[in-house]
Structures are given as structure tokens and as C-alpha cells.
Amino acid sequence: MEATQERIGFSMRKNKTGHIKVKSNDPSQVYLRIILGVLVILTVLGFATFDYKGIDILVALGETLGNIKTMFMEASLTHFTLLEAVHQMGITVSLAFLTTLIGGVIALVLGLFAAKNLSIPLVSNVIKGFVAFIRAVPTVLWVLIFAVSAGLGSEAAIIGMTFHTVGYLIKAYSEAFEEIDEGVIEALKASGANWWQIVFQAVIPSSATYLVAWTFMRFEINFTNGVAMGAAAGAGGIGFELFMASNFYFNVREVGFITIGILICAILLETFSTRVKNKYLR
């Protein structure tokens, strides 16, 4: 019995109350506990030795909670109207939609060539290696890189966000394509179907649910990125208004109103995507 437990990587012992206690014998679990313990100790030491520059933590915490209460309980607009806020929100949603649409089309084509069951290994590895590099660089850095040539504004934001969207969706799409049953592809090849017929008759229909799910997920990510790009890259939209309210006007009530609007819009996007998937992709 003990030999069997050792072979499968865990041991069972009865404690004083008669309950069986299962304990893993995997060395990696021990290393994980050591690392977590060291991180906890370093975190405690960090808080204990941090230079707070005379700030009273309790007072600062109270003021923070007060600002949060003012932000969300007394939310209001001062420097622009509700109609203008809706218009700016529409600009941010449009930015997210455009970058997702362009990136999705490009990623769909390249994802087919990146899938190992639909392409040769060399092409697949080259594309996957390239998009891994794209994903390693944050979206905001791509936007700032393209801003060197396009200038700060919506153009750089669209190019940078689309570039990162392509890298993200190629990985998601190619993995969805690789999940297709090899027997279906082999059967179509045996019946004389060419590559494009296999793609449109088997690959796309079988993975449509995953494609839509990943696309909507990236759309929601691009919406949040669009808010950030409005401030970081001057792309406009509600993100720019949030930047102005928080850094230029320092109006916490306006910041709260904009934040609530962003949350409501994000919830509406999630609800819409869920209904589309449930209605058309069962």
C-alpha cells in the first residue's frame, strides 16, 4: 500500500480524530511552499521598512475611503454634458470595434497558416514565434512605437491596438483550429477536397463557437485598452476625459461618473456577447 502511494505521488495518514489526511510527496510542492513563504516574509519586511515620508497610513486610508465615497456616491459632470459623455464613450467603443474587426480578419487568415494541422511546420513555427514577440510587448508600447511615425492620436492607437490584437487572436484561432478532429480532415482529403474546401467545410464551421468567443473577449480587452489609449496616446474618447478629470481638473466626482459609465458599458458589452453566443452558437 505504501509503495503504491509513493509511486502515485501522495501519502495518506489518519490523524487523531480518525480522519484521513492526504499529503503530496511531490518535491515541487515543497519548493512551492518555500517560495511562497519567502515571498510572504519579503512582503512583510517591505511594508515594515518602507519609507512612508511622514504619511500617517490610517489618516491616508480614511481620506482614500472618503474620496471613493465622494467619487461614487456624489458622481456628477462639470466640464461636459451627458450627451458629450455618451459621444466620447461611443468613440472608445468604435475604436475597440475597429481594431478588433481589422485584427480579427488578419488573424483569421494567418491563424490558418499557424495551425499545425493545416500548415507546414516551418510556416507554423515562424508565425507563432513572431506573434509571441508581439504579445510580449504591451499594447501601450506598440501604440507609442507607431506614434513615432504616425504621431500621437487615433491613428497610432488604431495601428498599435490592431497589431497587438493580431498577435493575440492568431494564437487563440490557431489553437482552436488545432483542436479539430484529425479524422474529419483526413476524410475530406481522401474524398479529394482541396485546402480551401477543408477550411470552409470543416475547420471554420467546427471552430466557429471558439472563434466568436475569443473575438468578443478581445473586443472587451480592446475597449479597456481604448480607455487607456485615450489618455496615454491622445486617442480621444472617454479615456481622454478621464485623464483630464483626474490629472488636470482633479474632479473626483467627474472621475466617479466616468468610471461608472465605463463599468456600465463593459457590462453591456459582456451581456451582448453572451446573448449572441447563446442564441446563435449553441
Determine, yes or no, domain membership for 139: yes
Helix ranges, the chain (H): 2-8, 27-49, 57-73, 82-114, 121-136, 139-150, 154-178, 182-190, 195-198, 204-232, 238-243, 252-280
Highest mean pLDDT range out of 21-30, 32-41, 137-146, 222-231? 32-41
Judge if 238 and 104 occupy the same domain.
yes
Q: What CATH number does residue 145 fall under?
A: 1.10.3720.10
d(CA 229, CA 95): 10
Instruction: Encode pLDDT of 189-244 as tens digits.
Output: 888 888 888 888 888 888 888 898 899 989 999 998 888 888 777 777 888 888 88
* 76 and 194 inside one domain: yes
What distance in Å separates the CA atoms of residue 142 and residue 159, rounded to the nearest whole number?
8
Quick one: pLDDT band at residue 122, thresholds 50, 70, 90? very high
**Residue 37 maps to a domain:** yes
Domain for residue 12, yes or no?
A: yes
> What angle do the packed helices 204-232 and 139-150 form, to 10 degrees?
70
Average pLDDT on 116-131 reads 90
Q: 34 lies in which domain range?
A: 2-50
Same structural domain, 228 and 264: yes
Per the CB < 8 A criterion, the answer to whether 144 and 160 are in contact is yes
Contact 189, 118 (CB under 8 A): no
Nearest in space to 143 (alpha carbons), one of 155, 153, 131, 157: 157
Take residue 93 and report the three cell numbers written for it: 467603443
Encoded amino acid at 194, one letter: N
pTM: 0.75
Question: Which residues, 6 or more positions from 182, have their beta carbon under 8 angstroms from its beta carbon?
Answer: 117
Residues 242, 137 within the same domain: yes
pLDDT at residue 21 greater than cutoff 70: no
- The pLDDT score that the predictor gives to residue 245 is 83
Residues 144, 27, single domain; the answer is no
pLDDT score of 278: 77
Q: What torsion do the CA atoms of 16, 22, 25, 26 make, to the nearest 10 degrees?
A: -150
pLDDT digits (tens, 9 = 90+) for 162-174: 999 999 999 999 9
When divided into structural domains, the chain yields a total of: 2
Asked whether the predicted pLDDT for residue 5 surpasses 60, the reply is no
Same domain? For 11 and 133 the reply is: no
Inform me whether the pLDDT recorded for 26 exceeds 70.
no
Domain contains 66: no
Query: How confident is residue 2, by pLDDT bands cut at 50, 70 and 90?
Result: very low
Q: Is residue 64 part of a domain?
A: no
pLDDT above 90 covers a percentage of the chain that reads 21
Structural domain includes residue 57: no
Residue 266 inside a domain? The answer is yes
Higher pLDDT, 7 or 269: 269
Query: pLDDT tens across 243-273, in order?
Result: 888 877 788 888 889 889 999 998 998 888 8
Q: Is 79 found in the same domain as 18? A: no
What is the spatial distance between Cα 48 and Cα 30, in angstroms, rounded to a whole number? Answer: 27
